[in-house]
Structures are given as structure tokens and as C-alpha cells.
Structure 1
Amino acid sequence: MSTPLRPGDPAGLGRYELVGRLGEGGMGTVYLGRDSDGGRLVAIKMVRPEFAHETEFRGRFRSEVNRAKQVPSFSTAEVLDADPDHEPPYLVVEYVDGPSLAVEVRERGPLSGAALQGVAVGIATALTAIHGAEVIHRDLKPGNVLFARGGIKVIDFGIARAFEATSQHTRTDQMVGTVSYMAPERFDPVNGRPATPAADIFAWGAVVVFAATGRSPFAADSAAGTAMRILTSEPDLTGVPESLRGAVAWTLAKDPEARPTARELLDLLLAGEASRPAAATATAAATENAPVPVPAKRGRKAAVIATAVAVLAATGAGLTIRGLRDDSPATTGATSPSSAVAAKPGLAGTASGEPASGSAASSRPAPRPSARSLSPLEKLQAIRNGKRKTLIHSVQLDQDLAMESHYTEIEAGDGTGRKSEFALIPAGVDFLVQSLAASTPGRPVCLGVRLTEESAKLTQSECFTGPGTQFELIPAEKKDDQGRPAYYIYNDSSGYLLWDGKSFYVQEVGDGDPIYTFSFVDRGPLPS
């Protein structure tokens, strides 16, 4: 589904008129366009300016686009046109008017039966065509699998190499891919090999598990934890039907040499489960109905894991291999939400921090803490009541909101440090969201919406009740991968909280359906 163009968007690119927005990511913005020759609707990816300024990138972009044009349109979106010399460069592909696998599973639930089999075969068919043209996808994920009339269409193949391989984009912080669907060898760019077709085959297995279950086969509390499981654990295939489990297990082998080719995979799917290899059958049986823990396996070198952690840290995906603990000790010195509430009219308390009229004297001894641990539901209720610190976890990004005290825009972080700690302040049925890192005594700082001609950015604000600072938590149907309730975060005056590849912004009302959901991870009691 397209959304209206925003102020500042171009009206056209080359011979194509732009009529709407289809999405935005780390590589650029995707527009819905109309070809002046016949009026055909197309999808146009306009490259971000920071890539376009590099001469080497344009050369690689031209080469990769020419190669991608050779891919037969079997279950793939056809590459129609490109202009690497345009300011900025752009790529034109077939417009597929259908939801992505990510949206379909989120809104309707996991697939089963013929629908699941059709997705598995469709993606394998696409990879057979892509690899047959000597192209590697590099970023196969549910968001790049679209439901089209007549079957599956895989998009965004091939050109990722142009973004990944230019001189300014070979560092670990520019590796292209989505952690949950990345093969183990991709986390070791120093000692390992360049991406091969086998990495796409691994991604096929992870995508099919997602289609069948609604989760990654290596799901963890953080991107770094997911990477650790990819490197060291067997996949959790619980919920994958018997008809696909052997093929999926084969594709998720740690060793790329042990995985099938796309042609072998497609032949296996078309021939049926009876012909699956014995090794895959044994792996599938071992993982059936058994969720996988995170073992400290010694078979892989610690240096590989350390490199993977460094990669994730550089991308902002995760600094430390760890779970997000719900019993973390309180961080001293944080400003409590009660002081933020007290600073503005209509909220309980006093700006000076003194007890409100009728409250207990400050000399009263603090109550003794209860020995009983709070349940997850009680922690969530306490967070919503402004009693406990929280991480605000983006379910789709598998990262957490972060606010640096010296930087106004809100970014995605790894969930460590005070920059990721917030407190919800009830304001009627809505909430203010206070940053514990940016707040100082007497000066609480909250999230707010800053409207510009081009966008509605999420940024720092004073804590006060108003249209730009109050947010509603709208329950989502799906929980996060740890079973925590997930919510859409909605600002009544501007819209839903979204991510543009660099920072968070608020989508204008009427621009389209919400995409990102958020859960709240307990970080302990707020300081008194």
C-alpha cells in the first residue's frame, strides 16, 4: 500500500512521475511511480545521497543493476530500468500490489498447509533464478517477500552488493542484512569469506520458519543474542510442519558447504519430504518440539563470536551478548517520573519535589521491600503506572529506543546504559515518555514530536501535557518474541511511531497503517 508523498519528495525521477511512497530503509526511499510511456505503475528506489556521492558506488551500482536485469522473472520482481548517473541514482522495478510476508504473518498469523508450501517453493524458485544469473540477494527476509497475483515475488535482490562493497561501505558497521536471517559466516567478515549463494539458502530456512511460526528460528532478547544463537545453537523448528522440517534443517546448517544449492532445494521441495537427506532428517528430529537454549559451545572460535559482537555493536544492533534481564538493579541518580509530573500543571506533586499536601512526612521510614518477585504482568502494570524503569523495545527492529543527553533525535540502541532507560508518566489515558538519561534534577526531559515541512521527528521535549508530547499505547495482536505484550505507539496529533533507517519519526495521520510495534522491558524500580 502506498502513502502520500511528503513535502520535499521529488515530483518525478527521469521519465517517471512519482505518485506515492511505498517505504523507506537504510539504502533509500521507495516510491510508487508511473511510467510516462504507457502509464504503467512501477516501484522506484531512490538511493540515499550519502551513497550517491561516491564514484565507486555508482560504478558498482551500474554493474549490479545490469546483472540483476538478467534474472528471469520467476517469482521475482523484474528489474526494469535504472539511472546510476542521475542525482540521486535510482532503480526501477516491477510494482507488486500485495502485502509482504512480514505484514501477512503479523496481521493474519503464521501460514500453514498449501499457503506455507507455496511460499517455500516460491522463494526457492526465486533464488534458483537469482543464483542462476550469478546474483546473490544478501538481504532475503520476510519484508522482501511479497504476495502477488499468481504467487510469490522476491524483491530487492542483487543491488545490496553495491552498497556493501564500496570503499566507504566495507566496514563492519555497513554490512547489509537483517540479523535474524543472516548466515553464521556473515558474522565473521575478517576471517571468513565474502557472501555466497549459501547465505541466501540459510536465509530461506529462517524465512520459512518465520512464515510457519511467526518467529525466527534463533530468536533471542537482542540482536546480539540472536547472532550468538545463529553461531552456536541449533535452530528451534518447533511448529514447522513435517513436510518442510527436513528441508529447513538442511538449509540452516552452520557450514555453508553443507547446505543445498537453490536448485537442489527446489528439487527437494517439488519431490516431497520422502527424498530429504538423512542428515537433515536427523537434525529436524533433534529439534522437534524442543526450544533451543543458548549454550556456550566450544566448537567455534571465540574470535568469531567476538567479531560478530563487534559487528553488531558497530551497527547499533547490540553491544553485549546478554539477555534483557527483568531484575536489573536500579541506576542511581535518575530523575523519577514523579518529578517530571510535578513540574507541570494538572499533574500530581510539586515542582520542588516536596511531598504534596496530605502526603506522608519525609521522616517516615521507607517501606520494607517485599520478598515476593513481581510477575511479568505486575511489572508491566507498574511500568504503566510510572513506578519502574523500562526499555522501549522495537519488536520489528529488535533494538531499543535510545536518547543521548546531548543529542535531540531518538535513535535505535542496544538496550545498554541509561540512554535506553525511560519511564512512562500517566496523563489521563495517555502517557508522557520521560528519558532518564537526558533528565536532570528539576529539568525532566520527555519524548516529543517536532513538525517540519518534511517530517514529524521524534525528539527531546520538556515534559508537559500537550498534543506533541502525549502518546497512546494501542495493543497489537502479536506479542514480542519473549511473549511480552506489544503496542503501537500513537500520537494523536501526528500518527504512529516509525523508523526511517536512521532515527524514529511519527507518521502523519492518514499516511497508512502502522508498521512497528513496541514492548516494554522492565529495568527495575525507579529511584525514590
Structure 2
Amino acid sequence: MRTCRSTVLFGVLAAGLVLTQQACTRGDRQSGKPVAFTTPASAGTTPAPIRTTKAGSGNKPAVSSTADPILAGRRQVVIRPIPSSESIVAVDEDGRLNTTDGEAEFGLFVLTPVGDKFLIKTAKAGAGGEQSCLGIKNNGSSPLTVEATACDTRRDGQLFTISRLKAKDKQGRPTYAISNEGAFLQVFPRTGLIAEELGDAPLLTTYAFIDNGPAGS
């Protein structure tokens, strides 16, 4: 398997979330212990990122964050991996972003544009009163994972590229690829959700964003 990287997502019920800020290595890979919680395609091509200044045309991305309230950080969303019938992404009790088939405590997110990239924030603030952000964690020789950490727009590991694809899900919603510095968030039975550089391999996991109301509600 190729070198991998990862990302983390959060759930939605009323429970406290205690986040321990983690140190980052050069290149913004998160290091140190996981954050603690009080409660729990297309092959061979790289999708073009969404531009946040204006909508594209032709082969360029057709959605801008200014035109789409989800990509403008004004809506909270469930992130559903494709292919999948029931699972969503959520932050687990160890602070790692992974998939779950059931109700998730931390499974709602807000996509906040930063230039032409995005912070992926928890929709609900933690015990300290602040939202947390997903960030890539370097695990040495093991695949990159995604974990929750304190938000910092200076950390490249927290700035994700969201690329709209031509395909739609079964409900007709747009689908997207999510990546960080060339490593795409993918879901595998053995490793769970990781970040992986594709090389010549196909992109196997894409995502739909399911609107769950105004952010901050």
C-alpha cells in the first residue's frame, strides 16, 4: 500500500468533547497521543479542487463556496462515504475520524473555506467552548489517519481540498473527493478511514454532504 494520510469527522448529540491540542511536525502532520473524548470514481486522475472565488465552467469545478451555502460554511452536514448505504464518517471515542453505521455523538461538520481549501470543523463546540478541526496524523510506517485537534489555519494538515466530481449519489446529490496535500481520504475494510496518495491507483471513496440545517443552530 502507498504512503497514507487521514482526516477526522464529528458527531451530533449533546455531550462534552475534551480536546487536547497536539503538536505538529513540519508539513502539519499531527503527532502525539490521540485527542481524548469524554463521550464518545475516477481512476488515474486527480479531481480538480473547488475554487472559492468563482464558479468554473467546462472541466473546471462547477461549484464555488460563495454559491453553495454548504461550501461557504453556513450549513452543518453529515458526510457520507460512497460506496455506502448506511455508514457516515464521525469522530470516535479515541478522537479518530472513521466510519460508523449507527448514531454518532460527533458526526456533524461545517466546511469552512480558507482560500481555496477548507477547514473541516465539528459542528458542535467541545467542553472548552471551541469547535475542533480535522487534521492529518502521521503514524510512522502505518497509514496516515485523521484526528480531531484544535483549529489552526496555519497548519497544512488541517487544510483540505474538496473537489466536486461529475457523478452524483443515488439521491442526486453532488459527490466530492476530499484530500490533503495529495493524499485522499479513503475507506478500507482493514484500515478504516485513512489518507492515501493515489499514484496510478483509482480513487475508491468519494463523499456526499447531507444538509442538516444552519451551522451554529
- Larger proportion of strand: 2
1:397 is aligned to 2:102 = no
1:486 is aligned to 2:170 = no
1:462 is aligned to 2:158 = no
1:506 is aligned to 2:199 = no
| 2:106 paired residue number | 419
- Larger proportion of helix: 1
Higher alpha-carbon Rg: 1
| 1:522 paired residue number | 211
3-state DSSP class of the match of 1:468?
A: helix
Distance across 1 between alignment mates of 2:167 and 2:110? 23
Q: Which runs of 5+ in 1 are unaligned?
A: 8-329, 336-377
Higher relative contact order (CA 8 A, sep 6+): 2
Aligned-pair RMSD on alpha carbons? Answer: 3.1
1:428 is aligned to 2:103 = no
What aligned pairs does 1:1-80 form with structure 2 within 5 A after superposition?
4=2
Give the alignment's TM-score, normalised by structure 2: 0.63
Distance across 2 between alignment mates of 1:509 and 1:469? 19
Following superposition, the deviation at residue 442 of structure 1 comes to 3.6
- 1:439 and 1:445 in contact (8 A); partners too: yes
What aligned pairs does 1:30-429 form with structure 2 within 5 A after superposition?
381-398=68-85, 399-404=87-92, 406-414=93-101, 416-429=103-116
- 1:332 and 1:527 in contact (8 A); partners too: no
Give the alignment's TM-score, normalised by structure 1: 0.27
4+ runs of 1 displaced by more than 4 Å?
330-335
Following superposition, the deviation at residue 332 of structure 1 comes to 7.4
Distance across 1 between alignment mates of 2:128 and 2:73? 17
- 1:411 and 1:504 in contact (8 A); partners too: yes
| 2:33 paired residue number | none
Cα distance change of structure 1 residues 437 and 423 upon mapping to structure 2, 3 Å threshold = same
| 1:474 paired residue number | 163
Cα distance change of structure 1 residues 516 and 411 upon mapping to structure 2, 3 Å threshold = same
Following superposition, the deviation at residue 437 of structure 1 comes to 5.0
| 1:372 paired residue number | none
- 2:90 and 2:104 in contact (8 A); partners too: no
Cα distance change of structure 1 residues 524 and 481 upon mapping to structure 2, 3 Å threshold = same
Following superposition, the deviation at residue 401 of structure 1 comes to 0.4
Distance across 1 between alignment mates of 2:104 and 2:202? 32
| 1:321 paired residue number | none
Distance across 1 between alignment mates of 2:200 and 2:105? 33
- 1:403 and 1:438 in contact (8 A); partners too: no
Following superposition, the deviation at residue 520 of structure 1 comes to 0.4
| 2:183 paired residue number | 495
Distance across 2 between alignment mates of 1:392 and 1:401? 6
Which one of 114, 134, 137 corresponds to residue 450 of structure 1? 137
3-state DSSP class of the match of 2:142?
A: coil
Distance across 2 between alignment mates of 1:446 and 1:458? 10
Partner deviation per Cα, 1:195-218 (whole Å, 9 max, x = no partner): xxxxxxxxxxxxxxxxxxxxxxxx
Q: Which runs of 5+ in 2 are unaligned?
A: 5-11, 18-64
Amino acid at match of 1:478: A
What is the identity percentage for the equivalent residue pairs of Structure 1 and Structure 2? 26
Cα distance change of structure 1 residues 407 and 381 upon mapping to structure 2, 3 Å threshold = same
Cα distance change of structure 1 residues 459 and 417 upon mapping to structure 2, 3 Å threshold = closer
Following superposition, the deviation at residue 414 of structure 1 comes to 3.3
| 2:126 paired residue number | 439
3-state DSSP class of the match of 1:527?
A: coil
Distance across 2 between alignment mates of 1:472 and 1:334? 29
Partner deviation per Cα, 1:31-71 (whole Å, 9 max, x = no partner): xxxxxxxxxxxxxxxxxxxxxxxxxxxxxxxxxxxxxxxxx
Distance across 1 between alignment mates of 2:113 and 2:102? 23
Partner deviation per Cα, 1:297-355 (whole Å, 9 max, x = no partner): xxxxxxxxxxxxxxxxxxxxxxxxxxxxxxxxx977999xxxxxxxxxxxxxxxxxxxx
